[in-house]
Structure 1
Amino acid sequence: MASISNVKESEVSERTVVVAGLPVGSFSDQSLAKLVKIYFQDIKNEGGDVEDVIYPTRTKGVAYVTFKEKKVAENVIRKKNHRLGKKTVQAKLTVSHLGEKVFCSVNAILDLSVFGSQVILEKLIRDLKKKIPTLFFSSLEHNGRISVHGSFLAIKRLRESLLLKASSLLEKNRNFISEGKKLSRQSPKGSLQRSNDSLESFRTLVPETTGSGETLVLDTDVFLYLKQKCRCYEGTLKTFNVLSRERVDNDVTTIYLKSVQGGSQPDNVKHVKQLIKEYSYSLQLELRKDTIVLEGKENREQRTIKLACEQLSLIYLQVLVNCYRTHIDIIGSSSDIYLFRKQVMKLIGQKVSY
């Protein structure tokens, strides 16, 4: 019986696909879930009988679709061109295996006001759209904020581009201030003050680093799993005498690496950066994330779910459980996540005691 159960459990992941790029904002969540089901049931789209559609998920624009047959899942993945929506509103979908590219959709809000008057924001956005065409930008707000949606790799490229732009402007400001000090008796005080204000704004975007410093950007879920579940992260830092400072910005985490004072050589910092990139890439291919929604449930039910997750986390040591006010994220391998959630539902059904 156990072997039969394991086979069925593994088949679920094989029959499930991750669908990213849904046209968020054009339809309600309920309508979008129905559209997804109808689309993937259509044989014209290489589809077939759909067993379940999970949407909305924590990641906007990403749904999980489980088919009744494994071959249908394989067929829709094999088909390269998927478009969902009406004639006037169509979105190109990315369909992948459950265990692949799960962290493929990221939403970010950019505060471009840090550039101040140094940059024409409309032109900056046009340039970014040309450079990274896979990103979707909302309208620029009057306060300089703009929301962006796209794959993690595309968001990563965006962040690197902005950091590069900020670094370039920071250097220009430093040169300007250096010249301003030489001509301080001839220059208006207010002008220099505005330059200093701009410099401080850029420092919030571009960290001060020494010659041995390195920066890399990771998906937040991958980073949290790497730091909390993998000994290799802290071990690598300790082995090569490298300090790390992390900044979490929603779905994206920036890591600043620096040599211990009087310790390791600059090459060690670069080596550690490369190792962390390799670790994170491996995890990104292996991990998947499931979300248990708490919002809308009664307090007693929420406590029951949280307690069940706490109990199971002591058994499933390779599963990372992150509890938030509105939901609980479960991160791990496809098989572990499936079994974990199944046990949570079982414990909830048994009304876990407090």
Structure 2
Amino acid sequence: MSDVSMMSSEGSSDWSRTVVVAGVPDVLSSERMSDKLTIHFQSARSQGGDVKEVQYPTHLKGVAFITFENWQDADRVVECNQMLKDKEFDEEYPLTVYKFTPEVTFYAYADMDLSLFPDLSTLITSMRSTYKSVRFKPSLTKVGFVSAEGPFSAFRELRKDLLSRAQSLRDMQPSPDKAGPSRSVVEEKNRTEETVSLWLDTHVYMYIQMMDKREWDRCVGGHHVTAQAVSTGELTQVKLHGTCDSSALAAAQRDLEMLVAVRQDLLRTQRIDYSSSDLSVRKRILQACESAQDAYRDVCYVLTDSCIEVIGPSFSSHLFCERVKKATDGLWV
């Protein structure tokens, strides 16, 4: 039974007294790190109190569950900036702390390409303030990239927010003909060629192209328009072109937005990391994915250089990854 299942079986009384701590460094043994966490959250600088239990390690990498004797202590620590420091550590480690909920079992990780936003530091500050359960860390090697981790439900809202911000950013840019921010018009032989842009989550776009291509083609071809997509990290811009009246183009855009909205609410992305695996291990993982897809036909997966991105409904994608993990004897974490 997982640590989340164990906590759930104890009843909801412990939930109000438990916090999730992300960003726990892998610098000491599990037992010693548990002691350090206990000391930290019982100290005055954390604004905490008596700790009843520390669960570390958990099924989530770098994440601990801290249960206090009193719910007031749990409420206070989530409102403070938590910095883990000790004489045994070479540096201080910022912790992301938020209240425990059963949804923690659905946890997401992502490297987000946010280079299209001009002021990344301000954006990160805003996201940290709005999405307190998500841990953000700017990349030290990739300009414009930010690593994020947190509950899937928070990720879902974060993605919607980023899509909205991207669309607003796009709308603020003047079009070459000054006709409007998201629509260009070219007159040719008394016919009007128009282009309309919309932004969507890249993983949602990939899922639709692999699993719902017929529905996508119906939304586009049914209104006699064409679509061109350009992906930039986490976001994909789709440009709809049509030599037709504006109502047909608007109808195609509306149908696509409805299709995307439904998928956006249902889908989640998980990663199977094989960056440190040799070719034989990768082959076993890929074979396990092929087998798992036969059982979970509403899930698809995409290969990258360092991992396999599993995209599908929350429950199905979770079971898909568990099946692969079991089939490969825990070769990935």
SS at match of 1:331: strand
Cα distance in structure 2, aligned partners of 1:137 and 1:49: 25
Q: CA deviation at 1:303?
A: 0.9
| Kept after mapping to 1: 8 A contact 2:299/2:317 | yes
Pairwise CA distance, 1:101: 9.7
Partner of 1:85: 82
> Map of 1:73-112 to 2, 5 A cutoff?
81=78, 85-86=82-83, 98=103, 107-110=112-115
Amino acid at match of 2:194: S
> Paired residue for 2:328?
348
Quote how far apart the aligned CAs of 1:221 are: 0.9
Separation in 1, partners of 2:220, 2:197: 14
Is 2:135 the counterpart of 1:155?
no
**Greater fraction strand:** 2
Q: 1:104 to 1:147 in 2, by over 3 A?
A: closer
Structure 1 unaligned spans of 5+: 1-7, 57-62, 70-77, 113-123, 175-204
**What is the aligned partner in structure 2 of residue 244 from structure 1?**
227
Partner SS, residue 198 of structure 2: strand
Offset, 1:278: 2.6
Give the aligned partner of residue 193 of structure 1.
none
C-alpha contact 1:321 1:328 (8 A) present in aligned 2: yes
Secondary structure in structure 1 of the residue aligned to 2:240: strand
Percent of aligned pairs with the same amino acid: 15
Q: Is the 8 A contact 1:104 1:152 kept in 2?
A: no
**Normalised by the size of structure 1, how large is the TM-score?**
0.56
Q: How many residues align?
A: 270
Give the CA deviation at 1:316: 1.8
Is this contact kept in 2: 1:21–1:105, CA < 8 A?
no
Q: Could you say if the C-alpha distance between residues 138 and 300 of structure 1 is closer, same or farther in structure 2, counting changes exceeding 3 Å?
A: closer
Structure 1 residues 80, 243: CA separation in 2 closer, same or farther (over 3 Å shift)? farther
Matches within 5 A, 1:5-16: none
Q: Offset of 1:310 from its aligned partner?
A: 1.9
TM-score (norm 2): 0.59
Q: 1:129 to 1:221 in 2, by over 3 A?
A: same
Q: Secondary structure of 1:110's partner?
A: coil
**Which of 258, 263, 281 is the aligned partner of 1:283?**
263
Give how far 1:302 is off: 0.9
Change (3 A) 1:137 1:89: closer
Change (3 A) 1:137 1:341: closer
Secondary structure in 2 matching 1:213: strand
What are the equivalent positions in structure 2 for 1:315-334 lying under 5 Å apart? 315-334=295-314
Alpha-carbon separation, structure 2, partners of 1:146 and 1:221: 19
How big is each residue's C-alpha offset from its partner over 1:210-256, in whole Å with a ceiling of 9 and x where there is no partner? 56322111111111112221242222212222211101111111111
Amino acid at match of 2:60: I
Classify the secondary structure of the residue corresponding to 1:134. helix
* TM-fit CA distance, 1:148: 5.9
Report if the CA contact (8 A) 1:99-1:287 is conserved: no
Equivalent residue runs for 1:50-129 within 5 Å: 50=55, 52-55=58-61, 81=78, 85-86=82-83, 98=103, 107-110=112-115, 125=119, 129=122
- Backbone CA RMSD of aligned residues: 5.2
2:197 aligned partner: 215
In structure 2, the residue corresponding to 1:167 is in which secondary structure? coil
Distance 1:208 1:101 in 2: 42
State the match for 2:319 in structure 1: 339
Q: Distance in 1 between matches of 2:173 and 2:105?
A: 33
Letter in 1 for 2:225: V
Q: Residue 257 in 1 paired to residue 262 in 2? A: no
Q: 1:171 to 1:238 in 2, by over 3 A?
A: closer
- The answer for the alignment partner of 2:132 in structure 1 is none
More contact order relative to length (CA 8 Å, sep ≥ 6): 1
Q: Distance in 2 between matches of 1:321 and 1:106?
A: 17
Partner SS, residue 250 of structure 2: helix
Q: Indicate the SS of the match to 1:269.
A: helix
Kept in 1, the 8 Å contact 2:113–2:233? The answer is yes
Give distance in 2, aligned partners of 1:47 and 1:159: 44
Distance (whole Å) between structure 2 residues aligned to residue 318 and residue 206 of structure 1: 34
- Offset at 1:268? 2.6
Query: Which of the pair is proportionally richer in helix?
Result: 1
Amino acid paired to 1:287 = L
- Contact 2:204–2:260 at 8 Å: present in 1 too? yes
Distance 1:159 1:295, change over 3 A: same
Please give the alpha-carbon distance, in whole angstroms, between the structure 1 residues aligned to 2:21 and 2:113.
15
Gap runs ≥5 in structure 2:
9-14, 43-47, 68-74, 85-91, 129-135, 149-157, 187-192
